[in-house]
């Protein structure tokens, strides 16, 4: 069972009929030369790589640029096409006056399973007081947060907002709030590792392919920047498989991950088991991590 915890459904045909909306998404996300694909193609690509489920992430940019890189409603539209294959997340712009209402509706009415926030693109610091009602709403519904962390390839998305250390106050203040600091917080790998090591509620994902090919880059990050056994020994409950599709693809990342020579049990946790814990579908077998 493989769960891809990090996909942006920008090019799903079911939500791409309006060219203006699609162009806005492409410009804001910084993704080009790809075209909308029907649900059959998306599922075929997942099947080919053995991915059983994918988390779909929207981004609300209402106060930043007046739109969404996929809206909560569009995520719901896609999940309804294949409810056993897609896990829809919500997003909310923290600066909109109705932020809490939007999020409540996303969880209660749209039945979305978590929250996506992008501090760099949405231009907020994770430990800002403005975020408190949003975190409390997630706790009320027991929903996890997928935070962008580290460098973003999206235009107009300064990395300073997404430095991993800004998440530490949140991890301390809300120990029951499960959060993923995506992309290993690259380039701040050591800081991300510190948070993963110390805080049971902090996770990360493997959606990094910023340089090299996937095999070379994973070797650099997982075996050189990090001690070669750190994931195996210390972080095997904290790392989740994620691609950041359509920017990076499972076709490249999965074979590279499988070449890292993790124990089969560790690889299985990374590919899906840790995602189930993050999503709240099951508790960790190690109670001190719950």
Partner 1 sequence: MVKLKTIVLRSTAEFQMIKITEEIRSFIEECGVQNGIAAVISAHTTTGIMVNEGLECVETDIEELLERLVPKDMPYAHAHFLPSYGATGSNSPSHLKSMLSGNSCMFVVQNGKMISGDAQDVYLSEFDGPKSRKVHIQVIGE
Q: What does the binding site for partner 1 look like in residue numbers (CB under 8 A)?
A: 29-34, 37, 40-41, 44-45, 48, 153, 209-216, 246-248, 251-252
Q: Which is nearer to partner 1, 105 or 210 (CB)?
A: 210
Q: Could you give the CA distance from residue 22 to residue 12 in angstroms, rounded to a whole number?
A: 10
Q: Which two tokens stand for residue 44?
A: 């075929």
CB-based contacts of 245: which residues, under 8 Å, 6+ apart? Answer: 4, 6, 7, 8, 54
Q: Which two tokens stand for residue 259?
A: 């070449």
Q: Which is nearer to partner 1, 46 or 138 (CB)?
A: 46
CB of 61 to partner 1, least distance (A): 16
Q: Which is nearer to partner 1, 49 or 194 (CB)?
A: 49
- Name the β-bridge partners of 60: 68
- 208, 150, 54, 78 alpha-carbon torsion, rounded to 10°: -130
| Sheet of 90-91, strand order | 90-91, 115-117, 145-147, 179-181, 202-205, 239-240
Q: Which two tokens stand for residue 201?
A: 């509620």
Q: Which is nearer to partner 1, 37 or 194 (CB)?
A: 37
Q: Which is nearer to partner 1, 246 or 280 (CB)?
A: 246
CB of 19 to partner 1, least distance (A): 18
CB of 82 to partner 1, least distance (A): 17
CB of 13 to partner 1, least distance (A): 11
CB of 119 to partner 1, least distance (A): 20
């Amino acid at each position: 069972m493989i769960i891809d915890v990090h996909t942006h459904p920008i090019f799903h045909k079911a939500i791409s009929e309006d060219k203006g909306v699609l162009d806005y998404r492409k410009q804001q996300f910084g993704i080009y030369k790809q075209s909308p694909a029907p649900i059959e193609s998306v599922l075929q690509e997942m099947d080919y790589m053995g991915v059983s489920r994918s988390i779909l992430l929207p981004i609300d940019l209402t106060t930043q640029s007046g739109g969404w890189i996929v809206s909560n409603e569009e995520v719901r539209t896609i999940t309804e096409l294949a409810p056993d294959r897609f896990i829809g997340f919500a997003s909310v712009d923290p600066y909109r006056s109705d932020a809490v209402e939007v999020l409540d509706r996303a969880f209660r009415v749209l039945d979305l399973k978590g929250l996506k926030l992008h501090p760099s693109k949405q231009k907020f610091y994770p430990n800002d007081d403005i975020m408190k009602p949003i975190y409390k709403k997630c706790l009320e519904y027991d929903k996890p947060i997928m935070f962008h962390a580290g460098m973003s390839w999206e235009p107009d998305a300064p990395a300073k907002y997404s430095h991993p250390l800004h998440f530490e106050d949140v991890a301390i203040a809300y120990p029951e709030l499960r959060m993923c600091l995506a992309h290993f917080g690259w380039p701040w790998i050591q800081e991300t590792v510190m948070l993963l090591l110390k805080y049971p509620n902090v996770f990360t994902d493997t959606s990094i392919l910023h340089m090299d090919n996937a095999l070379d880059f994973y070797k650099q990050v997982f075996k050189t920047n990090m001690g070669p056994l750190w994931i195996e020994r210390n972080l095997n409950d904290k790392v989740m498989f994620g691609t950041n599709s359509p920017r990076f693809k499972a076709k490249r990342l999965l074979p590279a991950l499988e070449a890292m020579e993790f124990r089969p049990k560790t690889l299985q946790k990374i590919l899906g088991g840790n995602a189930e814990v993050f999503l709240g579908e099951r508790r960790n077998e190690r109670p001190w991590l719950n």
